[in-house]
Structure 1
Amino acid sequence: MNAVLIRIVCALGLTQIIGWGSLYYSVAVLAKPMADSLQCDVSWVFGAFSAALVVSGLCAPHAGRAIDRFGGRAVLAAGSVLAAASLLIIALAPALPLFIVGWLLAGAAMSATLYDAAFPALSQLSGTRYRSALTALTLFGGLASTAFWPLAWRLHSAFDWRVALISFAALQLFMCFPLHRWALPRAQLRTQAERDSAALRARVAMPRSLLWLGIAFALNAFVFSAIGAHIVAALSEATASVADAVWIAALIGPMQVTGRIMEFVFARRVAATRVGVVTFMLTAGAMLLLWQAGAAGWVPWVFALVYGAANGVTTIVRGNVPAELYGREDYGALMGRLAQPSFFAKALAPVMVSLLLSGGLSYAGVALLLAVLSLLALVTYLAAIGPDRHAGEQSQVLVDTPQRSQHRGAV
């Protein structure tokens, strides 16, 4: 990567750490203090967060089309301002109604600032280096939970949760907005006539494989969201020790980054569609390991290693496979369309798992159910890439050929 692209990746990387940390990960640490302050059950806090994910799913296609039309710089900068406003509303909310409104706005901000907006924005600026640039960007994003879980807790402990969110709003406004607005170059965009022609072609000849791919990504998102919400409790049931469960769960974050580094070192010249097959298989294998986590003391540790690596590489697969299969024309709209069912799945998963647990199902039973969903995700993914595999490999060649770049402003 040249110096300009390195600057772009670093700028986007910092905003992804702040975006994921403030809008997504911080609620896991601050939910209980929020509930205590608002004098409500903690389920209301997680319900508001789930509603934010639903809103994000509804807004994702619109955000993607806006990126195609106005460029990633404009949309991401506007998203940062909206993120700052939403965090301030949540922090200053005196009661539950305004608190929920703040989270609904945060959902809209997620659709305009997190990976599904950053990937098409990066695509507009990276040209033939998109895949390596995307991998580098996800290395930054993998640090979000590691940075913001302790940061959120320290700010709450020293002050309170409201100060923590006000601080995060300031980061959005005074770091993310300037980085999006001035550190990202202006992309060369297509004319309105070109966009209308592409939209017409998409409506007339939308490949069936896109539906299968969306289902595969949504099923995977359901599994990852369920694990993210319940992993400590599930491991505690298997190991009979909360302390051991926390230490095992702590491996997942570093393994996400490790998995992405391994993908870059060993698989960067392998088609992303093939990397995806391995990743879906590893996810299913990890769920089977979690199902049997109580069988032996080493099983939970292996689960954390496999699951963390699979989770990390899945982000790269989600950003690269659509480009291989369908090219990067109208990439924002494509990513927004694929992201929509995944956001809905993320929102539903923690609630549905909680209902199953309250109905008497054990965490081992939940893990077996998630293993089945992971295998179903693998089957639908194979259905998605099967008819288009040859075309996808040709598309990757075209994407990597400077003369055929769809993005005239690529660096």
Structure 2
Amino acid sequence: MFYAYGVLMQPMEIELQTTRSVVVGAYSIALLISGFLSPVAGAIIDKLGGRLLMGAGSLLAFIMLALLANVHSVTGLYLVWAGIGIAMSATLYQSSFAVLTQICGSDYRRAITSLTLFGGFASTVFWPLTQALSDHFGWRETWMIYAAANLLICLPIHALLPKLSGPIQSESPNDSVKQGLSAIVRERSFLFLTSAVTFNALVFSAMSLHLMSILQSRGVSPSHAALIGALIGPMQVLGRILESTIGRKTTSHKVGRVAMWLLPLALVLLFAPKEWILIYGAFAALYGISNGVMTIVRGTLPAELYGREIYGAVSGAMAAPVMIAIAAGPFVASLLYSSTGGYVGTIIVLIALGTFGSILFICGRPSRKGY
């Protein structure tokens, strides 16, 4: 649902006789819907556990991907991706984090880190696998294979999730937790931290689609640009390993402070001369480590600050604007490119946004001892 479209949208664009922006727009719709539904999905998991929701999400993914394999119009494409957005909200990282926080007790942080270590290889596996399947079978058959995988692999796994034995007792000293989600989302620290991770996600998303073009605009050769881009995935995994070893000795908020500042620092390195290829390698390292660590921080911070009792609803409320930012990021970068006259101005604005987000993250520091 998440990575395959990047490979398959070109043949779909040709067969559906439409434009790249229209095809990308369908995917953005799915991300937007997933973001809006994140608080709802989290609240359901808080009350009922993950078995029902994630199982239903896998079943819906099977149906929607099977329909995607048979789509013949742009209207159908958008309707199907709207359905996939619902399935995303029930099955991807956000819901998985809520389930792990619920069933792993105080060991939730290590569980989330372990999950993201495997998840870090998702693009490494599914981009080439999708390309191979498409080359051998065609894009429609590839979607059918992935539909079957959701039905035959994901659904049985989700069906084996343990039942929720009872409500989790509040373990947070924060009085807002007792008053519920509505009180938490009005807290200054929650607003600052949510805004911070939203700006961070916006910058990462904006960079993701435009990175190759940005590197080549700086004079980096296409082969070197591809190599730099290929380094980012392993560096994300390295970041998660560092978080699970060195970072586990401190709070998620302190780890997040470092990871947040690595992003604008990495973008500054893009102004190095094109001959300084090692500096661009350092960019890939800082950028990848930051993104890898922030995935964990976004998952563990709500439980650390507000406990596990209503983790799903709180993390969903924090994730909703993040998912919207991820959906909007590439489009925002395109607007910046047009309005600033090139990628130099775009990078400068993204550095400013990343820096602003890092400052907000510090300002959202909880007042409790230990932070």
How far apart are residue 161 of structure 1 and its match? 1.2
1:172 to 150, 159, 164: 150
> Alignment partner of 2:368: what SS?
helix
How far apart are residue 198 of structure 1 and its match? 6.3
| Whole-angstrom CA distance in 1 between matches of 2:220 and 2:167 | 58
- 1:214 equivalent in alignment to 2:209: no
- 1:159 equivalent in alignment to 2:137: yes
> Alignment partner of 2:276: what SS?
coil
**Runs of 4+ off more than 6 Å:** none
- 1:231 equivalent in alignment to 2:202: no
> Alignment partner of 1:24: what SS?
coil
- 1:203 equivalent in alignment to 2:155: no
1:81 to 49, 59, 82: 59
Aligned runs of 1:6-405 on 2, under 5 Å?
Answer: 23-182=1-160, 184-190=161-167, 200-204=179-183, 206-292=186-272, 294=274, 296-359=276-339, 361-385=341-365, 388-390=366-368
> Contact conserved, 2:177 with 2:183, CA < 8 A, in 1?
no
> Contact conserved, 1:325 with 1:392, CA < 8 A, in 2?
no
Structure 2, unmatched stretches of 5+, are 169-175
Bigger drift between 60-69 and 355-364 goes to: 355-364
| Whole-angstrom CA distance in 1 between matches of 2:37 and 2:28 | 14
Identity of aligned residues (%): 41
Q: What are the superposed Cα offsets for residues 168-226 of structure 1, whole Å, 9 maximum, x if unpaired?
A: 111111101100111x22122329xxxxx967444346422111111111111101111
Cα RMSD between the aligned structures?
1.8
Q: Specify whether residues 104 and 201 from structure 1 end up closer, same or farther in structure 2 by C-alpha distance, changes over 3 A only.
A: closer
| Whole-angstrom CA distance in 2 between matches of 1:173 and 1:253 | 28
> Contact conserved, 2:336 with 2:345, CA < 8 A, in 1?
no
Q: Specify whether residues 28 and 333 from structure 1 end up closer, same or farther in structure 2 by C-alpha distance, changes over 3 A only.
A: same
> Contact conserved, 1:54 with 1:347, CA < 8 A, in 2?
yes
Q: What are the superposed Cα offsets for residues 58-83 of structure 1, whole Å, 9 maximum, x if unpaired?
A: 11111111111111121111111111
> Contact conserved, 2:68 with 2:80, CA < 8 A, in 1?
yes
Q: TM-score, normalised by structure 1?
A: 0.85
Q: What are the superposed Cα offsets for residues 301-349 of structure 1, whole Å, 9 maximum, x if unpaired?
A: 1110110111101111111122121112211000110011011111111
| Whole-angstrom CA distance in 2 between matches of 1:36 and 1:121 | 40
User: How many residues are matched?
Assistant: 363
> Contact conserved, 2:26 with 2:81, CA < 8 A, in 1?
yes
| Whole-angstrom CA distance in 2 between matches of 1:287 and 1:70 | 43
> Contact conserved, 1:291 with 1:368, CA < 8 A, in 2?
no
| Whole-angstrom CA distance in 2 between matches of 1:152 and 1:105 | 21
Q: TM-score, normalised by structure 2?
A: 0.93
| Whole-angstrom CA distance in 1 between matches of 2:340 and 2:263 | 25
| Whole-angstrom CA distance in 2 between matches of 1:161 and 1:62 | 33
Amino acid at match of 1:275: V
| Whole-angstrom CA distance in 1 between matches of 2:94 and 2:367 | 23
Structure 1, unmatched stretches of 5+, are 1-22, 192-196, 394-411
